[in-house]
Chain A
Amino acid sequence: MLFHTWIFLPFFLVTYAVYLILNRTKLRNVWILIVSYAFYGWWNPLYLILMAYSTVVDYIVLALMEKSNSRSRKKWAAVSILNNLFLLGFFKYGAFLTENVNLLLTRLGSSYVIEAPSWLLPVALSFYVFKSVGYVVDCYRGDVPRETNFIRHAVFVSFFPILIAGPIERAANLLPQFRKPTRITTGDIADGLSLFIVGLFKKVALADCMALYVDKVYDAPGQWQSAALVLATLAFTWQIYFDFSGYTDMARGIGRMMGFQIMRNFNHPYLATGLGDFWRRWHISLSTWFRDYVYIPLGGNRKGKFNTYRNLFLAMVISGLWHGAAWTFIIWGALHAAGLMLTRQLERNAFYRDSLPKVIKQAWVFVFVSFAWIFFRADSWSTACLIVSKIFTAGWSDPRFPMLFAILICAVWSYQAVCESRLKYILKTTGVQIGMAVLMIIYLALFAPATGQPFIYNQF
């Protein structure tokens, strides 16, 4: 079930109506759990087994951890983390691992072939696994108290607005919100609606639009020349942003209407002036997760330049792998690691840091990020290489890029620039706010594609 499909409308209306009735009762969390499992089971009821298994194991392990001494606590934390990583490895990386082991065996002259697993990758597995791991680590560190109520624990793992593609919420922020009834004001409903409509517009009117051109070019890159490949890459750069940030806005909007405060996940990432800045603005919940649970535990920047860069590199490569079980994602992570290191070095230079115009920094970061997206979007390593080589070697024939899309991209970029400028007060005036909302709804009703494409990040 996706937020931007018609089925979600009756689902949410029923969910919300009952939620408002039960909000001040003990049944509220039970209701959220039921609808969250119904929401997730809509894809495939078998997925529920896995989520329920992860939830139960973590709940038991955390209970045992609480009763243990410090040495055993570490063991129990390890059990939970390994269990979650095993789920991820088994379902997400099983095929990738066997494929590469088989390749290695062939290179070594062996005729032995391991049969590749053919099971389905449950949607959103990476998201709830990371959420659970974060919670277990926080409990182990003593940063958050263990949730003793099983329903609340299960709701934390499965909370439907953020289940499918995040944000990867922290227990410290989300769990306490399940402990007492939320106070829902008309302001919350209005805010939730504002977030939801903007998110819907980003997804349906912008991301799905871009997808039409991107898919056309990336499905047959050999048939296109440089201009089309460059424009399709730029279109994908915007598509993935609109798609993912649109999802997040909708998730936060739904949460807000239910009285929950869900963290921000994006902050105009394409206006970043460095790669570090980019990752503080892009998928904030994931980058902070990697910072807190991978980069800092590895040593962070505390043990010299080499170790800092090594830690950065490892965190980014694992982040790439988190996105998908393919070498293209690892390369994408490695490219970002390289970009981060380069940015860190450049920012030590006074001229770069203080004198270079901001717009130039923004431009190079945007170009770099767009270039890295090629590896993220391409079906395979060879396709990515073909696209990169054709961008630099093929001719510049008519890319047949729709003018309408160019206008939309320019409009959004200008909007974001105004958002970060002194003129942003204009966007806050009543007339502009109402006008924009009306225009977005009319545009959605009139012109939006009827494809109902899934969110890109669903697959992760």
Chain B
Amino acid sequence: MARQDDTMSFASHQMRLSARHWLVVAVIIALLFALIGPLWQRIERFEPGADYRIPYELSSDYWLYDRYCRRAVDTYKVLIVGDSVVWGHYVPPDKTLSHCLNEIAGKQQFANMGIDGVHPVALAGLVKYYGKALSDTKIVLCFNPLWITSKKHDLRSDKEFSFNHPRLAPQFVPKIACYSNPTPNRIGIVIERNTDFLSWVSHVQITYFDNMDLSSWTVEHPRRNPLTAVTGQLPAPAASNDQRPTWNPDSTARQDFAWVDLETSLQWEFFKRSISTLAKRRNNVFVLITPFNEHMMSRRSLAAYNRIKNQMADWLQEEQIEFLIPPALPSEHYADASHPLASGYALLAQQLCRHERFRSTILDSTGESK
């Protein structure tokens, strides 16, 4: 059939660009995509002061985390990376582990790089995609045993459920049976975490539009001008988390945790991947297994936990990775199964600073490396 010629109306709209026009568009878009992130960093003030931690409401703002990493690597000598135990779920910013270590050091040396709820599977994604700035530095990488207290915590449950930070989890390989998300969304996530511009878009949505896209936000705020919402001011970290501790030291009830086998644990496997990623970037990695609340465990559970700790120690020794598996804190220093209270953080910081290998690999050489 003869091709319909161009006199046939092309479309109801008038937008019809030539190949050359599209080339110009591609160049403009590429420039905008490349420049908008760096430009935005000039517009949006970000001055993480002493004891800074990523605000709780920005926990899923990985672009900001990336930005914080870049800043922290230049500012601090040691970066403490981990989940809410590092972040300080039940304490204000000036009572966290990093603060206590800074107090002992007498200067700002330790950065709180924790993110609330970032389990090791997510942590591996966080380090891989948004922690690229973490190189040639000292890192205390924390593992919270909470994530291996059951198959569900270990993300090996067959039943689908929503867990923290799914955007950092592997989207295709290995397959996580309990993770439910349609394939197009998974592809979108993979593209986003490899595209700085899209991560920046997420940052804007999380920071200024209540974690909504503009359309959804404008439906919620029909009279507000979206431009006025973009203040260029990042929220400050909350003074304290208003959640109440759940652990009662006087409680006699003991829990029987269904510890998973470390050999097959997904969370432990991904924690090992994080160590490997950071080591490949020439970081000096010190592993801290954060002290779990052993006082709430049944005798059987405690025995299993001790076995797991030994296995962890064996593997870390084998791999020649410096580590500390501190003893449990006294009961009254816990807020729940894994989070210390302020006094617990102070005690943990002291334990760390007394630890010979921590002193030699992290504390004593801090002045030399920076």
Interfacial residues, chain A to chain B (CB-CB below 8 A): 1-2, 5-10, 173, 176-177, 179, 183, 186-187, 189-191, 193-195, 197-198, 208-209, 212-213, 216, 245, 249, 252, 261, 264, 266-268, 400-405, 415-416, 419, 424, 427-428, 430, 433-434, 436-438, 441-442, 445-450, 452
Q: Are A430 and B185 in contact (CB-based, < 8 A)? A: no
Cα distance A260–B326 when bound, in Å? 69
Chain A residues with CB under 8 A of B42: none
| B21 and A213 contact, CB distance less than 8 A | no
The answer to whether A191 and B10 have CB atoms under 8 Å apart is: yes
Q: Total number of A-B contacts with CB less than 8 angstroms?
A: 134
Cβ contact within 8 Å between A445 and B3? no
Contacts of A8 in B (CB 8 A): 184
Give Cα A266–Cα B22 distance, bound, in whole angstroms.
24
Q: Bound complex: CA of A10 vs CA of B21, how far in Å? A: 24
Pair A441/B29 contact, Cβ less than 8 Å: yes
The answer to whether B239 has its CB under 8 Å from any CB of chain A is no
Q: Which B residue's beta carbon lies closest to that of A281?
A: B12
CA distance A10 to B191 in the complex (A): 11
The 25 sampled A-B contact pairs (Cβ below 8 Å) are A8-B184, A173-B1, A187-B18, A189-B19, A190-B17, A194-B11, A194-B22, A212-B215, A216-B219, A245-B12, A249-B11, A267-B12, A402-B221, A404-B226, A405-B218, A416-B12, A428-B14, A433-B14, A434-B25, A446-B201, A447-B214, A449-B213, A450-B188, A450-B213, A452-B185
Partner of A198, one of B11, B182, B183, B225: B11
Contacts of A402 in B (CB 8 A): 218-219, 221-222
User: Is B11 in contact with A446, judged by CB distance below 8 angstroms?
Assistant: no
Query: Contact at B187–A198, with CB atoms within 8 Å?
Result: no
Q: How far is the CB of A171 from the nearest CB of chain B, in Å?
A: 11
Interface size on B, residues (CB 8 A): 45
- Which chain A positions have C-beta within 8 A of B18? 187, 190
In the complex, A205→B21 CA distance in Å?
22
Q: How does the 8 Å CB contact mask read for B272-283 relative to A, with 1 for contact and 0 for none?
A: 000000000000
Closest to B5 in A: A261
| Min CB–CB distance A150 → chain B (angstroms) | 20
Q: Which residues of B contact A179 (CB under 8 A)?
A: 1
B15 and A193 contact, CB distance less than 8 A: no
Is B304 located at the chain interface by the 8 A CB criterion?
no
B197 proximity list for chain A (CB < 8 A): 445
Task: Name the residue on B nearest A174 (C-beta).
Answer: B1
Task: Annotate B214-243 by CB proximity to A: 1 below 8 A, 0 otherwise.
Answer: 111011011101100000000000000000
Residues from chain A with a CB closer than 8 A to the CB of B24 are 434
Q: Provide the bound-state CA to CA distance between A264 and B32, in Å.
A: 34
Q: Which residue of B lies closest to A180 (CB)?
A: B1
Contact B183 A7 (CB under 8 A): yes
Can you name the residue of chain A whose Cβ is closest to the Cβ of B4?
A261
A437 lies within 8 A of B1 (CB): no
CA distance A427 to B215 in the complex (A): 27
Contact of B12 among A187, A190, A264 (CB under 8 A): A264
Selected from A433, A450, A452, the residue in CB contact (under 8 A) with B21 is: A433
Determine whether B176 belongs to the interface, using a CB cutoff of 8 Å to chain A: no
Interface residue B28 (Cβ < 8 Å from any Cβ of A):
yes
Contact of B28 among A177, A195, A438 (CB under 8 A): A438
Contact A186 B19 (CB under 8 A): yes
Chain B: minimal CB distance from A457 (Å)? 17
State whether the Cβ of B13 lies closer than 8 Å to any Cβ in chain A.
yes
